[in-house]
Amino acid sequence: MIHENLLLILVLFFTMAILYLLSQKLKISYPIFLVIGGLAISFIPAMPDIKIEPEMVFLLFLPPLLFEAAWYTSWQQFWKWRRSIMIMGFGLVLATSLGVALVSVAIIPFFTPALGFLLGGIISPPDAVAANSVLKGMSVPKRGLSILEGESLVNDAASLTVFRFALAAVLTGQFVLKEAAIDFFSLAVMGVFVGLVIAHILYLILRYWVKSSSITTPITLIAPYLMYIVAEQFEWSGVLAVVSGGLFLSFRSHDFLNYHTRIQATEVWATVGFLLNGFVFILIGLQLPSIVDGIKNQYTLQDAIYYSLIITLLVIVLRIVLVYGSAFIPRLLSKRIRQKEKSPGLKLPFMVGWAGMRGVVSLASALAIPLTLDNGEPFPHRNLILFITFVVILITLVFQGLTLPFIIKLLKLKVEEVDDFVPLDDQIEEIRLRLAKDSVAYLDDRYAEEMEEFETISRVKEQLLRSIEATERTMEEEEKREALSSVRKLYRNIMIELVALRRDGLHKLKLEKKYDDEVLRILEHNLDLEEARLNRH
């Protein structure tokens, strides 16, 4: 019944929220906690078996998650580390898929190379959400974070392409390398083309037609589904359509997003991303009983665990080895790279390699395997592939995720920035200083007479000049620059306390029923914006 399924989904969402709050209390990355929580929930006797139609998995989850990842990708950092990102995004996926295919065929009876590549395509891409969640709040080298974020955008497309071709080979029983290469090129190029065409159309609509945030935000939510469905309708790459379209709209977002729309869209996408990611992570844990039941007819549980552990160990070791290879082999081959880039050292590649936790994309790909072949026969080894995927996700997410902070502390990465990098607070201070000077010049040019005539207007310039003078004095001396960090924290804490005081005052004024609710809501919204700004930096 529809209402029963809806109630179950709502209960899972509520459970997800509670588990998230617990993870914050216990200071454990929420994807790890959700997987463990889902696993615990699955053992409740009255818990119904949750099944999702395979063909709906990609459509429901992947488009918005890929679009969100593309939207928040830093183009500057992506381009700066493009070589490492491309080598890891494509090279690691292909090498991992090949390694998994060879090992799985060798240890699993009647496992074909096509099934091996299918499994490799499923478990090859690391999950950026899990890595970012674990690394949040930790001071790690900027290069490592940039490469992890950029890699996640590329390896999702690469792994899903491998998955698509391997799945076609299993379904049809045919695989010709030359034809596959041509098909890959055409579906990739046309997928990017479709994504960019739709993105340009939406850009023109959003910039010149739509003026309301209540319409702009829903269009951004519809955009990834539109790109994905249109591309897949022509049998091109929906994944690359979403990624390319998302990158373009993100790059031109300043043309059609005003302050209100930007705030609304950011909050809506943060909520959607959390719900989708969280639901998939909790779904990972919930799937275990049905997956275990599915393999009992073909394999013993001991054999399935043995295969899974071997393959899990393989993907962990392969990633670490390949990350070191991608970091140092280009340096050995190119003098220009050695001169242009500082050596990453031995510690940073290990952290990047250890951060290769599997998650949403791997589960979505595994669940998207059809139940039957084209001839109606059951899909071979489907339940075993699901079980291996589950174990790989569980071990890499829980074991590597929980140990990653200790690895970073052990390697002392937080005190060893690899590249010359200006701290974010210093960058913010420099930008504010430049903007303040521009503002003073603007006032002198446009409102010189008004500032002489009206004291209120002249105070604007005086306030800016005091701010500029204080900042310049602090930035002149290194000792004061070091003290600036503690001053910023104190200033931020005081301002947050004042926001709380004013918010409490607004609440008391509301109880007096003397002022219009609309006025109080406007003032409360202004306090929300101020508090958000203070907490963001």
Q: What is the pLDDT of residue 2?
A: 43
Q: Is pLDDT of 4 > 60? A: no
Q: Which of 49-58, 109-118, 187-196, 294-303 has the lowest mean pLDDT?
A: 49-58
Going by C-alpha positions, the residue among 78, 111, 117 that lies closest to residue 94 is 117
For residues 382 and 371, is the Cβ–Cβ distance under 8 A? Answer: yes
Q: What is the pLDDT of residue 177?
A: 57
How confident is the model over 43-88, as pLDDT tens digits? 777 666 666 666 676 788 888 888 887 887 777 777 788 888 888 8
Phi, psi at 428, each rounded to 5°: -60, -40
What tokens appear for 453 in the block?
């005539």
**Rounded-to-10 torsion of CA 6, 41, 267, 523:** 90
Integer-rounded Cα Rg, in Å, for the chain is 26
Average pLDDT of span 497-502: 80
For residues 278 and 361, is the Cβ–Cβ distance under 8 A? Answer: no
The model's confidence at residue 103, banded by pLDDT at 50, 70 and 90, is very high
Q: How many CB atoms lie within 10 A of CB 238?
A: 29
Largest CA distance in the chain: 90
Residue type, 91: G
Q: What is the pLDDT of residue 415?
A: 47
Q: Is pLDDT of 227 > 90? A: yes
H or E element that contains 391: helix 382-394
Q: Is pLDDT of 1 > 50? A: no
Q: How far apart are CA 100 and CA 163, in angstroms?
A: 13
pTM for the model stands at 0.75
Distances (CA, A) of 83 to 73, 332, 457: 16, 14, 52
Where on the phi/psi map is residue 127: left (φ > 0), alpha (ψ -120 to 50), or beta?
Answer: beta
How confident is the model over 438-496, as pLDDT tens digits? 888 888 887 887 777 787 878 878 887 887 877 777 666 555 555 666 666 777 777 78
156, burial (CB in 10 Å: exposed 0-12, middle 13-18, buried 19+): buried
Q: What is the pLDDT of residue 352?
A: 86
Q: Is pLDDT of 258 > 80? A: no
Q: How far apart are CA 10 and CA 17, in angstroms?
A: 11
For residues 42 and 286, is the Cβ–Cβ distance under 8 A? Answer: yes
Q: How far apart are CA 322 and CA 91, in angstroms?
A: 9
Q: What is the pLDDT of residue 445?
A: 81
3-state secondary structure of 311: helix
DSSP states of 66-89 as a string?
A: HHHHHHT--HHHHHHTHHHHHIII
Where on the phi/psi map is residue 381: left (φ > 0), alpha (ψ -120 to 50), or beta?
Answer: left
Which residue is listed with tokens 């890499």?
Answer: 396
Residue type, 217: T
Residue type, 314: L
Q: Which of 183-192, 336-345, 415-424 has the lowest mean pLDDT?
A: 415-424
What value, to the nearest 5°, has the Cα angle with vertex 248 and ends 247 and 249?
95
How confident is the model over 365-407, as pLDDT tens digits? 888 888 777 777 888 888 889 889 988 988 888 888 888 888 8
Q: Is pLDDT of 204 > 80? A: yes
Chain centre distance of CA 445: 45
The model's confidence at residue 186, banded by pLDDT at 50, 70 and 90, is confident
Q: How far apart are CA 287 and CA 302, in angstroms?
A: 18
Average pLDDT of span 501-522: 75
Q: What is the pLDDT of residue 272?
A: 86
Of residues 514 and 115, more confidence is placed in 115
Q: What is the pLDDT of residue 313?
A: 94
Q: Is pLDDT of 530 > 50? A: yes
Q: How far apart are CA 424 and CA 431, in angstroms?
A: 11
Going by C-alpha positions, the residue among 534, 15, 532, 537 that lies closest to residue 266 is 532
Q: What is the mean pLDDT of the chain?
A: 79
What value, to the nearest 5°, has the Cα angle with vertex 361 and ends 356 and 366?
110
Q: What is the pLDDT of residue 320?
A: 92
Q: Where do runs of H (alpha helix) occur along 447-516? A: 448-453, 455-476, 478-512
Q: Which of 16-20, 424-428, 497-501 has the lowest mean pLDDT?
A: 424-428
How confident is the model over 262-314, as pLDDT tens digits? 778 878 888 888 888 788 777 777 777 777 777 777 788 888 899 999 999 99
3-state secondary structure of 379: coil
Q: Is pLDDT of 534 > 80? A: no
Which residue is listed with tokens 């406007």?
Answer: 522
Average pLDDT of span 93-121: 89
Q: What is the pLDDT of residue 521?
A: 72
Going by C-alpha positions, the residue among 397, 405, 471, 409 that lies closest to residue 434 is 471
Phi, psi at 372, each rounded to 5°: -135, 160
Q: How far apart are CA 429 and CA 228, in angstroms?
A: 41
What tokens appear for 441 in the block?
């010049």
